[in-house]
Structure 1
Amino acid sequence: MGLAVPPQARDSPGTRHRPQGPGRQGPGGPQPQGDLRAGGVRVSTTVVRRRRHTLYFLEWAAAQRPVHLDTDVDMTRIQAHRAAARDNGRRYSVVSYLLYAAGRALDRHPEANAVMAPGWPGPLRRPRIVRFDGVTAKLALDRPVEGERTVLSALVPGLESANLREIQERVDRYHGEQAAELPEFKGVRMLGRLPVPLGRAAFAAALRDPRRRAGVFGTVSVSSLGHREVDGFHSAGGTAVTLCAGRVVDRAVVRDGVVVPAPMMRLGLTFDHRVIDGATAADVLSDLHHTMETFDDGTWAPDPGPDPRGADRDPRPLGGLEPSTH
């Protein structure tokens, strides 16, 4: 049994589809110009200008060797902190807590706050790993650019010491549809205007010196799809560690032998195996998990008291939480 061709897409013997010029009428009214193939499908061979920076990034990031881990984070304590903050007229987003935890965790694990610096100018030069002194997040944003949804990357520096309020103020800077017009996205707008060969060259040149990488690309990538019905996902953000947060949703957990609901969030960690090994990545993820589940930035009012998750908490210290040595 074959698939029937829609009547408007059928060809008479010996005919073929041709692009329709301006003002010409197709079966459904005026048709856009383009290359129409069998079935009436319009094929475009041009990458939209506003997405060229994404294309250049994906080409560059193809050298990574990503491996994926994930964990479920009990958000009870963070949700309680958010509620207390709202009662005092302050709003904190979930991603700000993740940025806060990422800064502390990577400061305790400097080997993961690093980047692979490929040999340059050629493959005969020995590749090396460069570690960064501070933690700067590359935060993925979904913002309209010239009327089309586009992924932009905003830098949030100083996470190893920034408090939650400072982080949220930085994140708030990128709210709204006008975020794409901010000065820090000038380079992205330029890449969209340049011819493709020059755009590729400019992108590569900006990342060539690993010492400048933190100010261009950050030291850790953070992405969240928690505003949609997404439980978990993984992506490779071009840094040694990429963090991916899903939605917060009530799930069944066991506390004191009783099944109760708790707000849970799936947290994914993708690491570049060229830079760190799985054991180090697992330590970083465990540190993030611990920091978020026991969150306390010293601003609780009143004192939240004991861990609200109760007896299911393992009181033993987690591995990989050694104090910072720098």
Structure 2
Amino acid sequence: MATEVTVPVLGESISEATIGEWLKKPGEAVKADEPIVSLETDKVAIEVPSPVAGVMGEQIAKPGDTVNVGALIALIETGGAAAAPAAAPAAKAEAAATVPAQSAPVAAPAPAAPAPVASGDQVMTLSPSVRRLVLEYGLDPSSIKGSGRDGRLTKEDVLAAAKNQPAAAPAPAALPTTEDSVPSAERKEERVRMTRLRQTIAKRLKEAQDTAAILTTFNDVDMTEVMAARAKYKDLFEKKHGVRLGFMGFFVKAAVMALKDIPSVNASIEGDEIIYRDYADISVAVSAPNGLVVPVIRDAQKLSVAGIEKTIGDFGKRAKDGTLKMEEMKGGTFTISNGGVFGSLMSTPIINPPQSAVLGLHRIDERPVVRDGQIVIRPMMYLALSYDHRLIDGREAVTFLVALKNAIEDPTRLLIDL
């Protein structure tokens, strides 16, 4: 008996997915609720579990196929028929292996006929080996007397003629070559179909460039005070809250305060109207195996630094496991992308439509700065705010970054909402 495996409900407004890869081969045993196939949607990759225990049967959909919700994609064999899928391929292979032995012997290919070579008004027939020597030594075959049957040239005739010919004029010097100008014989190319997630990322980023008037403004921030606070309290923080104290908690909290002061950065354009919000749903870019995903911290204005860190930590873990839900990546009013974890010094992040701004964080470098007339070394980070200039003026963008900078350089502001 076979049990059908269908595409599960993927979330609101998601009607189709792409087969990523089959995690089980036909004939392999599967357990109930064991993942058997990964599906890629516009937002995330998910794994579909087996509804029953049995043996992997026919896989109706292939990797790369687009399938609708509810579509039949595979069969799980249970009971006595479980061994059938494994036996069938083996029987086919055995039958295929016996066919050549029963068929008539295949005749050996005939040796290649000697290649004709034109020389003046005559056409001479040369064997492949003789032809190769003639071309190698640059000889005129009509000027060589053949000693073979019917006056044909032999290898010995060509070698003797080459030995007796006068020394050729030196060839012009070849242009110098380098390893870069001569393609290597080991160069390879691989053509891989874009995943559905990567296609969606590409489409949305290009859409942002085509529709929004994107501009980026920069500032830098002294991380001394935040780093000192983190070093002082990180052990107590982790002991009490069960999560590490990172920098994102400070930046999300500072961004929420700045968004309250500059509401246009948290707004969006819809048609000929501007939508302003009294809440902040912060999208946080998180690295996943198939690319960046952007889950949303809902009502970040209500969360403490500890609450923010717990939420981000949970997102990061589930992004790696592929268990983020669709609804967790929808919406969002403002995005923070931390390229610094990968070593980025500076970037111009692209807006995540329909949002109007995105904040880019970067790596922390010790740099010389002037404080009270003295040159000192400080841990500095570049901040980048890309924004839709149709909605946000340059003055507002700069004011937002300055407010964020002030809160990070003096974390006490985060406590007294200043």
> Are 1:79 and 2:232 matched, yes or no?
no
Shift of 1:181: 2.4
In 2, distance between residues paired with 1:283 and 1:98? 16
- Pair 1:100 & 2:241 matched: no
For 1:193-232, list aligned pairs within 5 A. Answer: 216-232=330-346
2:4 corresponds to:
none
Q: Distance in 2 between matches of 1:241 and 1:43?
A: 35
CA drift of 1:87 comes to: 3.7
Call closer, same or farther: CA 1:231–1:178 in 2, change over 3 Å.
Answer: closer
Q: Match for residue 234 of structure 1?
A: 348
State the TM-score, normalized to the length of structure 1. 0.64
Q: Deviation of residue 100 (structure 1)?
A: 0.9
Report the CA distance between 1:133 and its aligned residue: 1.9
Match for residue 387 of structure 2 among 237, 249, 271: 271
More deviation in 159-168 or 177-186?
Answer: 177-186
Q: TM-score, normalised by structure 2?
A: 0.51
- Residue from 98, 109, 113 that aligns with 2:266: 113
Correspondences of 1:300-311 after superposition (within 5 Å): none
Identify if the C-alpha distance between structure 1 residues 47 and 114 changes in structure 2 by more than 3 Å, giving closer, same or farther. same
| Higher Rg of the two aligned structures | 2
Query: Is the aligned partner of 1:159 residue 2:300?
Result: yes
Contact kept? 2:340, 2:364, Cα under 8 Å: yes
Contact residue 144 and residue 177 of structure 1 kept, 8 A: no
Distance 2:278 2:267 in 1: 9
Runs of 4+ in 1 over 6 A off after TM superposition: none
The Cα RMSD (Å) is: 2.6
Offset of 1:42 from its aligned partner? 4.0
The offset of 1:186, in angstroms, is: 7.1
Residues 197-231 of structure 1: CA distance to partner in whole angstroms, max 9, x if unpaired?
Answer: xxxxxxxxxxxxxxxxxx82311111011123322
2:289 corresponds to 1:141: no
1:6-57 deviation per Cα after TM superposition (whole angstroms, max 9, x unaligned)? 363xxxxxxxxxxxxxxxxxxx6xxxxxxxxxx754445x322331221232
C-alpha contact (below 8 Å) 2:361/2:382 kept by paired residues: yes
Give the Cα separation in 2 of the matches to 1:286 and 1:160.
19
Which of the pair has the greater relative contact order for Cα pairs under 8 Å at 6+ separation? 1
Distance 1:179 1:170 in 2: 15
Which residue number corresponds to residue 41 of structure 2? none
Aligned residues of 1:107 and 1:160 also touching (Cα < 8 A): no
Match for residue 6 of structure 1?
A: 183
User: CA–CA distance in 1 between the matches of 2:297 and 2:263?
Assistant: 18
Q: Which runs of 5+ in 1 are unaligned?
A: 9-27, 29-38, 119-126, 188-214, 300-320
**Match status 1:48 vs 2:201:** no
The 3 A distance-change label for structure 1 pair 99 and 256 is same
Gaps of 5+ in 2: 1-174, 239-243
